[in-house]
Amino acid sequence: MPQTADRLAHFTESVIREMTRVANQYGAINLSQGFPDADPPPEVLAAGATAMAEGPHQYAVTWGAPRFRAALAAKQRHWMGLDLDPDAHVVVTCGSTEAMMSAMMTACNPGDKVIVFSPFYENYGADAILSGARPIFVPLHPPDYSFDEETLREAFRQDPKALVLCNPSNPSGKVFSRAELEFIADLAQAHDTFVITDEVYEHIVYPPHRHCYMASLPGMFARTISCSSLSKTYNMTGWRLGYVIGPEAIMAGVRKVHDFLTVGAAAPLQEAAVQALELPLSYYDRLREDYTRKRDLFLGYLDEAGLTYTTPQGAYYVMVDCRAFGVRDDQEFCRWMAREIGVAAVPGSSFFHEPVHHLIRLHFARTEAILAETGRRLRKLKPSASF
Ligand SMILES: Cc1ncc(COP(=O)(O)O)c(C=O)c1O
């Protein structure tokens, strides 16, 4: 048999999806793969049924159906405070996953360096490898996931082509402050570097924290490739609708990459999702309130189980420190916990470039009843367990 490509040797299969299989194997509550229990809003489901009955069923415009782009530009104009032109500044993709890959392939030549904060969402490693870029990892230090300014300056001195910014951040739950974003922006401008953002949790931010868009900072729209999606905001991870927003010259490149990667996102689903993009602002208030309630509830259960964690500022993940339970091998511990306690988590080491083996990631985008049952199960954890 011919040899498969060398690039495959540089990344493994997704640990998150593997943990979902482990959860299924042991019938554990799956708090590993981060998708919500809830369905999309009912009016969006109704629009989906209509689109299935009446179409469109053939290819949409490759860079996005005009109605979808217009609705998206109007929505993001509000939130980002930018004068977005749906014909010039928007490309609709198959989720933020494709958006990020398209952005990376647009920005980087093989051999270019890309700054990635660690811990990082596992796709960024694969994105870098598949586009031929080399990551420069800059640590975000637990428990507060702050970065050292001098370390970041040093990374920029290595002449990176782009910096990847996941904000709000998966897995850490960090929401970058405006001051931190300004610090990064100054460096990006000084070193003529792109910033590629992944903002899928832009609407899941816990007060008093606020989401600030990198593209909205003075001078940054010109070099920021903003990626996001409808997956988390409207409970539609399976619809695979995402987008890239950026200046026209960059978007011309993104359109080309996207066209040859996937041609386009599903036409009937784009049509139906217009309904989601046009939801009133109160929808986003409710989303934030619902997740704030779930977060507070879940953190209460972690307290009762004696677990130590970093309070998430955004997104719906919590990094739990398991050292008090004797954990030195997070992978072993996660398998044991799925089997014996009935709760599946992701080993924290799969997000870190550095050797960090005492953290696990749990997500709380589940019903309150499931979170309560998780709490009951976690109380069975005993500090004597040794891994
Ligand atoms: C940070 C981050 N980016 C992207 C994704 C995937 O988003 P999408 O469904 O839009 O591809 C996820 C999903 O968990 C995520 O956590």
Tokens of residue 380, six digits: 């069975």
Of 299, 313, 245, the closest CA to residue 74 belongs to 245
Residue 179 CA to residue 130 CA, distance in Å, equals 32
Residue 19 CA, ligand 1 centroid: distance in Å: 17
Q: What is the pLDDT of residue 51?
A: 98
Sign of CA dihedral 347, 137, 102, 203: positive
Residue 171: CB within 6 Å of ligand 1?
no
Q: Nearest C-alpha to atom 12 of ligand 1 is from which residue?
A: 200
Can you say whether residue 301 is alpha, beta or left, with left for phi > 0 and alpha for psi between -120 and 50 degrees?
alpha
Would you call the peptide bond into 208 cis, given omega within 30 degrees of 0 as the criterion? yes
Residue 169: CB within 6 Å of ligand 1?
no
Can you give the pLDDT of all 387 residues of the chain as single tens digits?
Answer: 898 988 888 877 788 888 999 999 999 999 998 889 999 999 999 999 999 999 999 999 999 999 999 999 999 999 999 999 999 999 999 999 999 999 999 999 999 999 999 999 989 988 988 899 999 999 999 999 999 999 999 999 999 999 999 999 999 999 999 999 999 999 999 999 999 999 999 999 999 999 999 999 999 999 999 999 999 999 999 999 999 999 999 999 999 999 999 999 999 999 999 999 999 999 999 999 999 999 999 999 999 999 999 999 999 999 999 998 888 899 999 999 999 999 999 999 999 999 999 999 999 999 999 999 999 999 999 776 566
Q: Do 371 and 297 meet the contact criterion of CB atoms below 8 Å apart?
A: yes
H helix intervals, 305-367: 330-336
The best mutation among 121, 122, 228, 269 to test binding of ligand 1, ranked by most ligand atoms within 8 Å of the C-beta, falls on: 121
Rg, Å, the chain Cα set: 21
Name the amino acid, one letter, at 242: G
Q: Do 254 and 105 meet the contact criterion of CB atoms below 8 Å apart?
A: no
DSSP state of 138: E
Of 303, 373, 386, 317, the closest CA to residue 28 belongs to 373
The count of other CB atoms within 10 Å of the CB of residue 303 is 12
* Helices 42-54 and 267-277, packing angle to 10 deg: 150
Q: Nearest C-alpha to atom 7 of ligand 1 is from which residue?
A: 96
Q: What is the pLDDT of residue 363?
A: 97
Cα 35 from chain centroid (whole Å): 11
Residue 198: CB within 6 Å of ligand 1?
yes
Helix (H, G, I), strand (E, B) or coil at 25: helix
Tokens 């993709």, located at residue: 93
Residue 95: CB within 6 Å of ligand 1?
yes
Q: What is the pLDDT of residue 385?
A: 55
Give one DSSP letter per residue of 30-90, joined into a string.
E-SS---SSPPPHHHHHHHHHHHHH---SPPPTT--HHHHHHHHHHHHHHH-----TTTSE
Residue 348 CA, ligand 1 centroid: distance in Å: 17
Residue 242: CB within 6 Å of ligand 1?
yes
Helix, strand, coil percent content, the chain, rounded in steps of 5 = 45, 15, 40
Q: What is the pLDDT of residue 34?
A: 85
Q: Do 358 and 387 meet the contact criterion of CB atoms below 8 Å apart?
A: no
Q: Do 106 and 259 meet the contact criterion of CB atoms below 8 Å apart?
A: no
Q: What is the pLDDT of residue 6?
A: 87
List the Cα angle 337/342/348 in 5-degree steps: 40
Q: What is the pLDDT of residue 185?
A: 98
Give one DSSP letter per residue of 296-311, joined into a string.
HHHHHHHHHTT-EEPP
